[in-house]
Amino acid sequence: MTDCLFCRLVESGDHVLSTDEFVAIRDIAPAAETHLLVLPRRHIDTFRDIAAFPDDEAARMLRFVADAAASEELDDYRLIVNVGPGAGQTVFHLHWHVLGGKLLPGFH
């Protein structure tokens, strides 16, 4: 999808970590000391569509999220997936926020 910002970023090659299926990039407006976005290379609108994933693809995606955090040497981190506009999703390409670094506020 050429009109999808994240599809363009997936193709940009400016990745922290990448495989044939997934990429991790740095968020341009970080909400934590370390803030990565993990995206599937193929366009999927939202986490709500995870039911359409084959089980092994969903498992590989979760392993990649953990690998992205490990690549930044994060022992403690927060994962966030916004699902739909009411939850704050502004770009409709499935993505995980990986936030870590200094002690994160809230939800303790």
Active site positions, annotated: 95
Place of tokens 């970023």: 9
- In our burial notation (b when 16+ CB lie closer than 10 A, e otherwise), range 8-25 reads ebbeeeebbbbeeebbbb
Pairing label, strands 22-26, 77-80: unpaired
